[in-house]
Amino acid sequence: MSDMSVDVWLYGPLARYGKEADQGSFANLQMRLPDGSNMDALLRRLGINADERGITFINGQLSAMPGLQPDLGYTLSDGDRVGIFHPKSMWPFQYRHGASMTEEMARAMRQEKDHGLHHTYEEAGDSS
């Protein structure tokens, strides 16, 4: 089975999962994964539990928020950029209103209370 490379950015306390790439406040690493790997596989490889991460981006598209993680099944491709944040990080609604989201995330948001017009989703649970 062939490999692919993913450009991974880990922020805040998650930097430690970058091991030798840990810069203290962030880590940037090129990870080799089997073709067809999904987000769940990436997190497992990093050793990050799904509830230890919060806001997540795949190629600049919002794919997860704390309490809303519809991206675990997302199939990654060679050259993708993935940015993973600690649950402490935040992105208020008015500053992401109209920003790019993965299709799964857009769908999950629409299904949320008030069309997702909130800052946090922790009580809403995982709708993936």
Task: Write out the residues near other proteins by the rule CB under 8 A.
Answer: 9, 11-12, 15, 23-26, 28, 55, 57, 59-60, 62, 66, 83, 85, 87-100, 106, 110, 114-120, 122
The dihedral over CA atoms of 15, 84, 54, 115, expressed in degrees to the nearest 10, equals 160
3 versus 77: smaller Cβ distance to other proteins: 77
Question: Least Å distance between CB 89 and other proteins?
Answer: 6
Closer to other proteins by CB, 1 or 106: give it.
106
Name the burial class of residue 50, with classes exposed (0-12), middle (13-18) and buried (19+) by CB atoms within 10 angstroms of its CB: middle
Q: Which is nearer to other proteins, 33 or 105 (CB)?
A: 105
CB of 57 to other proteins, least distance (A): 4
Q: Give the shortest CB-119-to-other proteins separation in angstroms.
A: 5
- Give 20 or 114: the residue with its C-beta nearer to other proteins: 114
Q: How far is the CB of 95 from other proteins (least distance, A)?
A: 6
- The torsion angles phi and psi of 102, rounded to 5 degrees, stand at -65, 160
